[in-house]
Amino acid sequence: MQIIQRRKIYYIISLLLIIPGIISLFMQGLNLGIDYKGGSILHVRISAETSVKEVREAVSGLEFGNPEVQKSNDEFYIRTIELNQEQTKDLIQILTNKFERVEFLSAESVGAV
């Protein structure tokens, strides 16, 4: 094995792998989760034929910031700014009024670090 003699080749290979990662980090930034940004996650189950777009439209006109909605089967995760209990109840009520079958599963609020 001629590792020492080929070290310049290994340096070049390492740089070819590291430089795109650093460029990507500066251009895209880090995608910080709720643990670092703070906010609330509301986990609800809505009838399976409901789309992410419909849920997003139902909650987008509110003063809860710009909510992120993700779907997993018939369950939805709605991420918003940090909500108190009353705001969470209001959000659940809005979803209940808009959709026929809404089951509240959990709500979690995390303060920013």
Give tens-digit pLDDT for 66-98. Answer: 888 888 888 899 988 888 888 888 888 888 888
Give pLDDT tens digits for 11-68.
999 999 999 999 999 998 887 776 677 788 889 998 768 888 888 888 877 777 788 8
Q: 29 burial class (0-12, 13-18, 19+ CB within 10 angstroms)? A: exposed
Q: Which residues contact 5 (CB under 8 A, 6 or more apart)?
A: none
The whole-number pLDDT of residue 81 equals 84
pLDDT score for 100: 81
In this prediction, residue 112 carries a pLDDT of 62
What CA–CA distance (Å, rounded) separates 17 from 72? 34
* Ordered structural domains, the chain, with CATH: 1-30 (no CATH), 34-110 (3.30.70.3220)
Confidence of residue 113 (pLDDT cuts 50, 70, 90): low
